[in-house]
Amino acid sequence: MQETEFDPLDFLRLADALVTDDADEATYRTAIGRAYYAVFLLARAKTGVQGRRHAHERVREAISPVNDRLASLLGTISTTRDYADYELLPANANYTDWKRNWERVRRNVTSVLEELSTLPDFTDETNDQ
């Protein structure tokens, strides 16, 4: 049986399905994480970055010389994902409204998908595993 490659956009579809009118904080936090990983995995595939060691930073570093705005958007989404996954009560007041965080992440994800579609495929020269 041949397996098909996972489509990272399935993470985004899941995130969108999770967020309903009665979504709670845990739902928003989870959706933010899934949305981030959707665009991160797509960006990693586009750049050819391999392995896990510093992969998030390496993807942004690979993209930055070609499209600094895209790298910055990925960093912004990543920061919100970090708050969602690691902070019980974010010290930064800008990250305490989870509905607003989700809305901001979702807008940025849309921009990232648009920007990624304009990039050619390229590979990363360092294949740290």
Residues of the chain short of pLDDT 50, as ranges, are 124-129
- CB burial of residue 44 (10 Å; 0-12, 13-18, 19+): buried
Q: What single-letter DSSP state applies at residue 95? A: G
| Nearby residues of 37 by Cβ (< 8 Å), 6 or more positions away | 8, 11, 81
- What single-letter amino acid sits at 86? Y
Q: Which domains does the chain have, with CATH numbers?
A: 9-118 (1.20.120)
Q: What is the pLDDT of residue 1?
A: 62
Q: What is the pLDDT of residue 3?
A: 86
Q: What is the pLDDT of residue 27?
A: 98
